[in-house]
Chain A
Amino acid sequence: DQQVKQNSPSLSVQEGRISILNCDYTNSMFDYFLWYKKYPAEGPTFLISISSIKDKNEDGRFTVFLNKSAKHLSLHIVPSQPGDSAVYFCAASAAANFGNEKLTFGTGTRLTIIP
């Protein structure tokens, strides 16, 4: 039962354009969402997060949008740069895990930025 879904295994975007990565979730208990970025032969690194009390969070070129009614979140990267080429994982956490750092991850989207 995949509670966090990333339906696009891969995405190619021209350098300088906007990259939009999507994520859907099914568990209504999730109230904290994160994006992680992973380069080959490295562990995932935290990118940006959003709490369910917000619908948008920005950090430089990265913006995460949350639509609770649709159980959908997206990551926007503007402008896209070659160094953004990586696998992006969406992850979610529930208040029930308070004090427990358990994340439920999606299967990842491989983003390729074309120079």
Chain B
Amino acid sequence: KAGVTQTPRYLIKTRGQQVTLSCSPISGHRSVSWYQQTPGQGLQFLFEYFSETQRNKGNFPGRFSGRQFSNSRSEMNVSTLELGDSALYLCASSLDSGRPTGELFFGEGSRLTVL
């Protein structure tokens, strides 16, 4: 069974640009979450999608957005990039049987560097 796939793995952008990151969840998983990992901050929750709907959102500015497609694949977009957006962006999927388990399956992440 293929794991969670994130593309691209690495990218470099400059301030003011925008970026789109992609995530393909494990087959059959309907929930996709996004997290930002920075040194000293751990993993910060960005948002979670289920059946193409955003169910939950973290405390990030509106420059961070996402969406989920009918095949459960998800994208997240960051507009007007700032230096502080440099981070590892992790996507996670879960089966979501209706009972929260917290057992997320993470991809390897997309490492974004903003210059």
Contacts and interface: CB of A to CB of B under 8 A. Distances in A.
Given A43-B4, A101-B31, A102-B45, A32 B100 contact: yes
Most buried by A among B40, B42, B56, B103: B42
A49 interface: yes
Given A104-B45, A105-B43, A107-B42, A99 B55 contact: yes
Contacts of B100: 32, 93, 95, 97-101
A99 B45 contact: no
A43 to B, nearest CB: 3
Interface size class of B (residues with CB under 8 A): 20 to 34
Given A89-B42, A101-B100, A107-B41, A44 B48 contact: no
Contacts of B56: 97, 100, 102
Interface size class of A (residues with CB under 8 A): 20 to 34
Nearest to A42: B108
B103 A34 contact: yes
Given A32-B100, A43-B107, A101 B43 contact: no
Interface of B: 4, 31, 33, 35, 40-45, 48, 50, 55-56, 58, 90, 92, 94, 96, 98-109
